[in-house]
Amino acid sequence: MTRNRIEVNGVEVDASTRCRHYHSEVDIIAIKFHCCKEYYACYYCHKEKADHRETKWPRDQWEEQAILCGNCSRELTINEYMSVSECPECQHRFNEKCSNHYPLYFDI
């Protein structure tokens, strides 16, 4: 399968979008930040690399594609991501503990 690789910013980001901060087998999603519309491996990577403060995705924009599966490069909407535990394309499991961080990214 041909992949269209999307650039993911961050600190020590690998080919599966893992970074220095989160690097387990299931840490394979990157998040497009609302403020800059750029993908980062995590909140901490954005804090370290971006030249601006982050903003959260408002609920009325949760149909935007803002989640990237680092295994197969499929983009998911925020709503879609919040309703699954694995990628709908490649079935790679996502880190279930990421839901603890939703308030950092999404206007909950």
Is 18 within the bounds of a domain?
Answer: yes
Query: Sheet harboring 8-9: ordered strands across?
Result: 8-9, 39-40, 29-32, 65-69, 75-77
Question: Which pTM does this prediction carry?
Answer: 0.94
* 30 occurs within a structural domain: yes
The mean pLDDT value of the chain amounts to: 95
Contacts of 17 (CB under 8 A, 6+ apart): 8, 10, 27, 28, 29, 30, 39, 41, 68, 70
Average pLDDT over residues 25-53: 98
pLDDT interval class at 1 (50, 70, 90): very low
| Number of domains comprising the chain | 1
Find where tokens 């990577």 sit: 45
Over range 48-60, report the average pLDDT: 98
Residue 69 β-bridge partners: 29
The confidence band for 4, taking pLDDT boundaries of 50, 70 and 90, is low
- Token pair for residue 81? 């991501």
For the cut 50, the answer to whether the pLDDT of residue 2 exceeds it is: no
- Structural domain range at position 70: 8-105
Asked, for residue 80, whether it belongs to a domain, the answer is yes
Whether pLDDT at 61 is above 70:
yes
